[in-house]
């Protein structure tokens, strides 16, 4: 897929987790702590539990997107932790999922790190005169503190999470709210994200050009068969560093 010209764009919106930041450590660390509290037999089932936990988490996001009542991220994480344990038949103390959800929240703030190449990418977009914003489905109020700790918050004009709009990507509301804050239209906005359903489908449904960071080496054609050709991103990169090279 060829590189693109940035001349038509006035703004660029980023996803947070696994796009601007590397967040792979915090859920694994918190999940291991949870199973340690239960015992060795639970610890031995870590891989099984992690898989079911992800399914439970994303299914709740989809329920909200498809019209269900809004649930705050902390509640979604707590319920996913509890239901995943029940799904695989592990008994646990009633207070444990709530304590672990709080640990997820704490570790998200503490363990998130900048993706390699992110500073170069932000400087590149800044040099093109683009206004920048961030949208996340993750914990409420975390974007600015994380990016401030990483020394890159000053690049962004707005920080939008589910608590602001009571909705999750790929719903239109987070994208539309952020564009209003940036003063841009879909035709002059670029979106960069890693999660195909939440990020790329959400952006392209509104006519926003998207760049997909395919860090998990998923098949684009398989995803297009699932979500439709209209969801095709204008550019695919393997990583943020790869994207910097494609745009430079």
Percent of the chain with pLDDT over 90: 98
- Radius of gyration of the chain, Cα coordinates, nearest whole angstrom: 18
pLDDT at 2 over 90: no
pLDDT at 49 over 60: yes
Q: Is the peptide bond before 170 cis (omega within 30 degrees of 0)?
A: yes
Count other Cβ atoms within 10 Å, centred on residue 129.
9
- Nearest Cα neighbor of 115 from 198, 53, 192, 47 is 192
pLDDT class of 38 with cuts at 50, 70, 90: very high
CA atoms of 161 and 211, how far apart (whole Å): 20
Percent of the chain with pLDDT over 70: 99
* CATH class of the domain whose range is 25-111: mainly alpha
Residue with tokens 């444990």: 96
pLDDT value for 3: 72
108-167: per-residue pLDDT in tens? Answer: 999 999 999 999 999 999 999 999 999 999 999 999 999 999 999 999 999 999 999 999
Q: How far out from the chain centre does Cα 13 lie?
A: 12
Whether 143 contacts 17, CB under 8 Å: no
50-59: per-residue pLDDT in tens? Answer: 999 999 999 9
pLDDT value for 246: 95
pLDDT value for 4: 85
Structural domain spans, the chain: 11-22+114-247, 25-111
pLDDT value for 76: 98
Options 3.40.50.2300, 1.10.390.10, 3.40.50.1000, 3.40.50.720; CATH of 11-22+114-247:
3.40.50.1000
pLDDT value for 248: 87
pLDDT value for 96: 98
What SS3 class is residue 212? strand
pLDDT value for 60: 98
pLDDT class of 190 with cuts at 50, 70, 90: very high
């Amino acid at each position: 897929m060829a590189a693109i010209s940035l001349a038509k764009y006035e703004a660029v919106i980023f996803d947070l987790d696994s796009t601007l930041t590397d967040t792979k450590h915090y859920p694994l660390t918190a999940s291991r702590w949870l199973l340690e509290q239960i015992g060795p037999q639970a610890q031995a089932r870590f891989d099984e539990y992690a898989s079911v936990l992800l399914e439970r988490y994303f299914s709740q996001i989809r329920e909200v997107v498809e019209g269900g009542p809004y649930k705050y991220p902390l509640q979604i994480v707590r319920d996913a932790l509890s239901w995943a344990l029940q799904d695989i038949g592990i008994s646990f103390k009633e207070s444990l999922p709530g304590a672990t959800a709080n640990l997820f929240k704490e570790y998200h703030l503490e363990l998130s790190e900048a993706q390699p190449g992110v500073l170069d990418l932000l400087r590149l977009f800044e040099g093109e005169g683009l206004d920048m914003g961030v949208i996340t489905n993750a914990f409420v109020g975390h974007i600015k503190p994380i990016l401030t700790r990483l020394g890159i918050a000053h690049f962004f004009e707005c920080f939008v999470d589910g608590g602001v709009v009571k909705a999750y990507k790929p719903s239109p509301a987070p994208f539309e709210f952020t564009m209003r804050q940036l003063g841009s239209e879909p035709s002059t906005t670029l979106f960069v994200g890693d999660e195909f359903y939440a990020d790329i489908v959400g952006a392209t449904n509104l006519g926003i050009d998207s760049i997909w960071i395919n860090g998990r080496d998923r098949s684009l054609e398989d995803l297009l068969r699932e979500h439709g050709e209209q969801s095709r991103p204008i550019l695919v990169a393997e990583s943020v560093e790869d994207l910097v090279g494609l745009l430079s």
